[in-house]
Chain A
Amino acid sequence: MDYIFDGSYSGYLTGLFECFERSEWDATPRSAAIPQGSLFGSHRVITTDLTKAKRVQTGLMKQLGAKDAEAFFHVFLSENPSAWTSGYKLIQQVFKGRPNILKNFGEHDVLYFVKTLKQVNRERHRMKAFVRFSKCTNGLFFATVEPDFNVLPLIATFFKNRYADQSWLIFDVKRRYGILYDQTNVREVHLTTTLAGGPSAEATSFSLDERDDLFKRLWKLYFQSTNITARRNLKLHVQHVPKRYWKYLVEKN
């Protein structure tokens, strides 16, 4: 049975709550935002209900502790429907009295869940590393990224703590939203499009600080100077810095 939710984590958890209400253990979460599967198969449309979502979340925290409960959110951000389904199966087990199910590494759903979790966390780590800020004349530091998974929510605190005294914006090009920090709070921003479909004037009116280009050049120069030709190993290089990230990396341009 497909459970079509609105694409939010609260929607995902609401669906889970309802599968318990109906004892529908074969519930398969599907996002309305990502059309797929047969539209004609049996399905229910889930209306996001914050109270229900909250109850699932509190239950998970109680059963598993904060860290493992959080893992379900991370896996959710993979945007991978198969991993979403594994998540449903595991939460069902947890509430059926097997809270240590996550440690059963001999079982398919656990392995798939853990594998996805690892991928998401790796992407999160990569984004902490690969964000490259440019400085604007108005003092804002901004960066564009294109992560494999929707990891911006997972890096906000890291950047907030580290760059506490500068305003910054990290924009996910693929998902068309960003996180903006104004030296007090982090909030989500969306690109408002003009009627012509191009980015709004506000979004494109940044101009770069006059010394920004100098530091880009110095960084590239540093990158080349610190390389040891006698040890050259491009295979390893590409393994660590896969090509799809290159266009956002100053030193690779």
Chain B
Amino acid sequence: MERIEEKLAILADAAKYDVSCSSSGSRRRNNGGIGDASRSGICHTYTEDGRCVSLLKILLTNHCIYDCAFCVSRRSNDVRRAAFTVGEVIDLTMNFYRRNYIEGLFLSSGIFKSADFTMERLLLIVKKLRLEERYHGYIHLKTIPGASEELIKEAGLYADRMSINLELPTEAGLKMVAPEKDHESVKKPLALIQNQISTYKAEKKIIKQVPSFVPAGQSTQLVVGATPKTDFEIMQVANTFYQDYKLKRVYYSGYIPINDSHSLLPQIGSAPPLLRENRLYQTDWLLRFYGFKLEELLDPAHQQLDLTVDPKLSWALRNPQFFPVDINRANLKEIIRVPGIGRQSAMKIIHARKFGRLYAYQLQKMGLAFNRAKHFISYADAPFILGAPSMETIKQAILSESTSKYASKVHTHQLTLF
């Protein structure tokens, strides 16, 4: 193998546990050079584990002076080390981009020498891409915890998205496995960038030519299942971060054991909690796009998500007082809360019913999961039921209809949302 191939193998492998691959949300235009960032993002291919490949996701180096137990690149781990040169990263990015392999670059790094030294290198790469290569494609840059304000601010002028990983949902958990890290070193840059984004936005209203600052916003990642935290605790942290730092996304990553030496972490070979990860994403989605409040889905008395059914169905089963929802009269907010109906089909219903009352045969063709939804709605020719059936009966009916789907979900990872 040539040296560049070896480096790529090592540094892509080390970066792959960062789940964020999103290339959406930016609106960088191509002016006179190459590339743009499309608003909706594009997955150019999918890995054999079914994840979207949108960005060239690599580390600049996997040398690191720290020793975080959950990380493959930790100092004490016995792995092959490599480091790209600045030029190599640029060459790879440009050549992959020009061949339409990728939407852009996701660059992160282990910390070598010092946080600032590392951040300077990352900054140099994005600057060269933008200014010398006239590259306008997507760039996601990892903020290095502990890097100086000036460097972070300058990087924000060239990156589309910046992120910094919380990794573990609670401070105590983080201290246990990564003694050198704390939540403060993550919160500070998040707040700093959020501040800059707001300032630039405010200025943009007055002067047009203000450069865009991290136009696709910030994100963070939470590792799930490394330490014994409940879903409620995890979602509480996520929720606060959405609110306090206006994050674009929180990613939940089922912990994949990579370390046998640490007794607190799951051992190598134990399966990553994929179904649980899926349930957390579904909950996240309900909070952000379906108007749910966290307390409706999880609370101190109710700390874990139900693995057998998705969180929306689970909520509906616990709240029979809201059902049935009358498809021909209810408002959008009520309709999207029905299990089996997503935002798109809810919109279709709202439009279609202007032409007349809707019947079962029409609903069945509108792209909703009618067999699930029918237990929770009434429509023009809905059977009249004396005394509502108990929610337990409904749950059994739904589960038996879709046994295969729910049963197989426990083993495979499939991100279907409702």
Mark A residues whose CB is within 8 Å of B: 100, 103-107, 111, 125, 128-135, 141, 143, 158, 161-166, 211, 215, 217-219, 221-223, 225-237, 239-241, 249-252
Contact = CB atoms under 8 A, between A and B. Distances in A.
B355 A104 contact: yes
Contacts of B271: 230
Contact of A141 (B4, B17, B99): B99
Most buried by A among B47, B50, B51: B47
A105 B362 contact: yes
Contacts, number: 159
A131 B4 CA distance: 25
Interface string B36-57: 1010001111111111110011
B352 A129 contact: no
Given A218-B8, A227-B47, A241-B46, 6 more contacts: A104-B352, A105-B349, A129-B45, A130-B44, A221-B9, A228-B47
A165 B35 CA distance: 9
A249 B29 CA distance: 27
Nearest to B49: A231
B50 A236 contact: yes
A205 B84 CA distance: 36
A164 B34 contact: yes
B362 A228 contact: no
Given A104-B355, A105-B362, A141-B98, A227 B49 contact: yes
A127 to B, nearest CB: 10
Q: Which 3 A-B pairs have the closest CB atoms?
A: A236-B50, A231-B49, A105-B352
B358 interface: yes
Contacts of A134: 99
B13 A225 contact: yes
Given A234-B48, A240-B46, A106 B33 contact: no
27 contacts: A104-B351, A105-B362, A106-B358, A106-B359, A107-B355, A111-B365, A125-B42, A133-B98, A135-B98, A161-B36, A163-B34, A164-B30, A217-B5, A218-B4, A219-B96, A226-B12, A226-B16, A226-B57, A227-B49, A228-B16, A228-B51, A228-B256, A230-B256, A231-B51, A233-B413, A233-B414, A250-B99
Nearest to A108: B365
Nearest to A241: B46
A166 B35 CA distance: 11
Contact of A221 (B5, B15, B29): B5
Given A105-B348, A222-B8, A226-B53, A232 B33 contact: no
Contacts of B146: none
Interface in B262-302: 271-272, 274
Given A130-B44, A225-B13, A231 B256 contact: yes
Contacts of A166: 34, 98
B99 A105 contact: no
B353 to A, nearest CB: 8
Nearest to B95: A215
A134 B351 CA distance: 46
Contacts of B228: none
Contacts of B33: 164-165
B50 A240 contact: yes
B275 to A, nearest CB: 12
B266 to A, nearest CB: 12
B48 A129 contact: no
B151 interface: no
A231 B413 contact: yes
Nearest to A98: B355
A104 B366 CA distance: 11
B32 interface: yes
Contacts of B365: 111
Most buried by A among B5, B99, B365, B366: B99
B205 interface: no
Nearest to B94: A215
B5 A231 contact: no
A133 B92 contact: no
Nearest to B408: A235
A143 B351 CA distance: 41
Given A106-B356, A228-B16, A132 B100 contact: yes
A132 B101 contact: yes
Contact of A237 (B12, B36, B49, B348): B49
A133 to B, nearest CB: 4
A238 to B, nearest CB: 9
A133 B99 CA distance: 4
Contacts of A249: 45
A251 B49 contact: no
Interface string B76-120: 000000000000000010011011110000000000000000000
A236 B414 contact: yes
B43 A240 contact: yes
B1 to A, nearest CB: 9
Nearest to B411: A233
Contacts of B405: none
Nearest to B268: A230
Contacts of A135: 98-99
B256 A162 contact: no
